[in-house]
Amino acid sequence: MYEELLTIGRFARLCRLSIKQLRHYDETGLLAPVHVDAHSGYRYYAPEQARDALTVALLREMDLPLAVIAQALAAEPESRARILRAERDRLAERISRDQARLEMLERLAEGGLPGYEVTMGREPERRLAVVRAVCAFEEIGETFGACVGRLMPVLGKEGIAWEPPLWGLYPLDLEERMEIAVGARTSQGEGTPGLEFQTLPGGPVAETVHIGSYVQLPLAYNALFAAVHERGLRPQAPVREVYLVGPGEAPQEEWMTRLIIPVQETAA
């Protein structure tokens, strides 16, 4: 039987993998040899393992994590397809984010930092019905949509009148996991299941308006925070986004978002 096995060197060449990779895959339990010589420690592989080895090489070329590859190899065809589709969706999301970064870099390369008019003013106190969620930074768009999907049905079902536009509330620090909220201005609905209420205090703010895609909002925030710090002011949470014109109302390049940062003077 052992005469039919392949040495690790021959198997590596057959599967377009390095010996170092095969040893690592053995140590992690991803692809173990069928036989290890007790005296020499030499690893031997069966020819029928080539398919799995080639699949590992292909998926690693696509930057799939080893843990995901191990799950896919061990799964039945239906489960394997589900695992690979989940990775496909994550890759598509990453490509979308990278495309947005490329567009911002191109915009910066062509014209430098875009000019935003930052104004100082005062905001009145506002009462919002809100729903909250915790997410990573790259999940903000998806999580915001899910929050809207929770908020609007409750307002409609309970007949709670609210004043457009919708508001987004965000922390100052973009941590690995952070709480965001979506809110609508209303004076009704106290005690409604599924709703919280948050009063945004009135006071001095710095604000600007961004026209265009949400993925380019960092450009507006750059200008806004720079103006706050240049004036010797201290930003306060939560940062507020007001969606004056959004999806379904105009083309993406015409979306209009008001960005508001509450501020206070720093101690002398």
Q: Indicate the residue type of 50.
A: A
Which residues have a Cβ under 8 Å from the Cβ of 169 and sit 6 or more positions away? 128, 130, 180, 181, 182, 183, 198, 200, 238, 239, 240, 241
Q: Which residues are paired to 134 by β-bridges? A: 179
pLDDT in tens, 180-228: 999 999 999 888 888 999 999 999 999 999 998 888 898 899 899 999 9
At 111 the pLDDT is 63
| Banded pLDDT at 154 (limits 50, 70, 90) | very high
68 and 38 in contact (C-beta within 8 Å)? no
Q: Indicate the residue type of 91.
A: L
pLDDT in tens, 57-83: 888 888 888 889 989 988 898 999 999
Phi (first) and psi of residue 192, to 5 degrees: -70, 125
Phi (first) and psi of residue 239, to 5 degrees: -70, 140
